[in-house]
Structures are given as structure tokens and as C-alpha cells.
Amino acid sequence: MIDLRSDTVTKPTPAMRRAMAEAEVGDDVYGEDPTVNRLEQRAAEITGKEAALFVPTGTMGNTIAVKIHTEHGQEVICDTRSHLLNYELAMMAWFSGCVARPIAGEDGILTWDQIRREIRPLGPHWAPTGLIEIENTHNMAGGTVYPMRGIREICAGAHERGLKVHMDGARVFNASAATGVTVRDIVAPADTVMFCLSKGLGAPVGSLLAGPADAIARGRLYRKRLGGGMRQAGVLAAAGLIALEETPKRLADDHCNAKLLAENLTRIRGIQVDPSKVMTNIVIFNVSGTGLASADISLRLKQRGVLINGINEREMRAVTHYDVDKAACEQALETLALCTREA
């Protein structure tokens, strides 16, 4: 199977498996797992934040971040297509008692000017703004990357008004590979950042939430409350440490493969995509011109050994990662051309 459904599907490399087998472990709820401690320290260094917390998933990292920064009855400003709003089972409402104030960013990228107009003070009718959230890279907008200037303006504007900014940096290493700006510089203006080890970086499990030491200390308690105290989690952290050191340098290959997919998708009748917007490892393309619904195309592809999911009736998402090389992408393109020709 050529699996382009997500970069979450990567399998651990032999080096990761070796490190997992040999990992030194302890009880992380007591803070005694040396490998988890090393991973958290390394994540804090890489992000330039005071502390970091190892969490099982990106969803838990975002959930804890919202909880740290907000009070019940507040609003969280985010993009309309953000993961936090659309794919995390209403966790903002469920755990933090907040509602979203979504804004439609162009290609998922918000500007301070847009945000500024949506900030609400406490009033007789309004829930006040508690937090601003930005997603970098933006998943459902096609892996788009925030310009540094935009991040700085949003964070400076928010801080001036006493508001915090959380970056959902599930794929912030892809943003770094695409722009040449270090992860540390990308996340510096934001108060907290969550990034995933289990996406393009290829570790089997895990994400990190990084930020100020006091906020992360509170986050540790919320992690326990959410059932995320993982005990001898060093076996997972060991793979994460390898992912952090080894994988970032090869993310550019995934970006080349995504570009290749996008450029060749434009040659398939009925498919629309703008390759100039593909900056990282995600390609979202419109299939409405083929006369087929995305679910039908998915099914036909699957029967021929290619996995690509629809994100709605008209659009599909292909995500490149280290388990699909250039030849596999070319094969996927051929299969897609074949499946849509038969419409």
C-alpha cells in the first residue's frame, strides 16, 4: 500500500526501535524517567522555552495549552479550519469551558488586523477573549506556513492587550525546513507551542508542549487529570529523541515529493490544485471536475493499492512522509489518473 493519508502513519525506523529496546526508564509520574526527562529538556532547548512536557498526543498538548491560558466562559480566537476547532472533539468546550471565535484566514493564515477586530472585552453580552491560537503549518489549508512577520505582529499585538498566543506547531519542523528559519526563532514570539513527534518526524507516539516553567508545571497536573501520566514512557521518549535529531534534515525530501504530486496533479483531467501554494508536505486538491465524489475516488484508489482520504466531498488530502518515496508518489499519480479516467 502507498499510504498518503497522513504523515501520522510512519512506522518507527530501525534506529528508533533499537533506542526503544535499550531505553533507560523510570516512573515518569514521579519525574523519574531519565529518557522522558532528557526528551523534555531537549524539546525546551530546541524551542527556546523554559520547560516542556511530553504528552501522548497533539490533541492532549493543545487541550492542556488552552486550559493553561484560559478561564471558563472565554473565547479562543482561531482560524476557521484549525485542527483545534474541527478535529479535537470540541475539547475547548469540554475541558476548558471555552468557545471558539473562528476567523477565516487566507490559506489558514491569520493576520493581526483580522484578529484585532475580533478581540472582545468583558461586557454585558460578551465572553471575553482568553487566547489566540495559530496553526503552523496549517494542516487543512494545505501545509501553509506563517510568515515570521505575521507571527511577530500577532504576538506583539496580543501581548500588548494582555493576551497569550498558543502555536499549534504539530508540523513546525516542516515550517522550519520550508523557510530555513530555526524552530526556536519561529516559536519565539508565542507563549506556548505544541509540536508532534509522531507526524513528519516519524516517531510512533508523542508530542511536546513547551512554554514558561510555571505554565508547564500546571500543565503537568492537567496531563495527569486527562489520564496522560504514562509511567515508564521512556520507551516512547527514546524514539522521540531519535526523531528530533535525525528526521528534520530529511523533511525537505517530503516537501519535494509533495511539490511533485501537486505539479503532476494539475495534468489529471478534472483535478484542480495550485502547486505554487504547496510549501511543505501536504497537498489538498479539488476533484469536483472529475464527476466523482472524493469518497468514490478513495475507494477506487484503495482497490489499486493507494490510500488518499477525502477531507470533504470535493477535496482530497495527500500527505508525504518518509515511508513514501518519489517512485511511490509517481505510482500514486498514475493510479489516480487511471481511477479518475474511468468516471
Q: Of 183, 265, 230, 176, which Cα lies nearest the Cα of 57?
A: 230
Sort strands 207-211 and 192-196 into parallel, antiparallel or unpaired. antiparallel
Q: Residue 315's beta-bridge partner residues? A: 286
Site string for ligand TLP, 302-331 (x = CB under 6 A): ------------------------------
> Are 112 and 154 a contacting pair, CB within 8 Å?
yes
Report the C-alpha gap between 330 and 311 in whole angstroms.
Answer: 22
Going from the C-alpha of 39 to that of each of 53, 55, 172, 240, the distances in angstroms are 9, 11, 17, 7
Q: Closest approach of Cβ 207 to ligand TLP, in Å?
A: 6
Q: Binding segment for ligand TLP among 37-45, 56-64, 182-190, 285-293 (CB under 6 A)?
A: 56-64
Task: Report the DSSP pairing between strands 309-310 and 315-319.
Answer: antiparallel
Work out whether 58 is an interface residue with ligand TLP (CB under 6 A).
yes
Q: What x-and-dash track marks residues 61-90 binding ligand TLP by CB under 6 A?
A: -x--------------------x---x---
39 and 54 in contact (C-beta within 8 Å)?
A: yes
Q: From the CB of 324, what's the least distance to ligand TLP, in Å?
A: 14
Q: Which of 10, 13, 57, 129 binds ligand TLP (CB under 6 A)?
A: 57
Which one of 12-20, 31-39, 54-62, 179-187 is the stretch in contact with ligand TLP (CB under 6 A)?
54-62
Site string for ligand TLP, 107-126 (x = CB under 6 A): --------------------
- Report the residue number, 84 or 238, with the smaller CB distance to ligand TLP: 84
In the bound state with ligand TLP, the residue whose beta carbon lies nearer, of 137 and 290, is 137
> CB of 88: closest distance to ligand TLP in angstroms?
7
Q: Does 168 bind ligand TLP (CB under 6 A)?
A: yes
Q: Cell for 217?
A: 508545571
Give the CA dihedral 152, 157, 162, 167, nearest 10 degrees: -40
Element holding 101 (H helix, E strand): strand 99-103
The footprint of ligand TLP (CB under 6 A) covers: 6, 8, 57-59, 62, 83, 87, 135, 139, 168, 170, 196, 198, 207
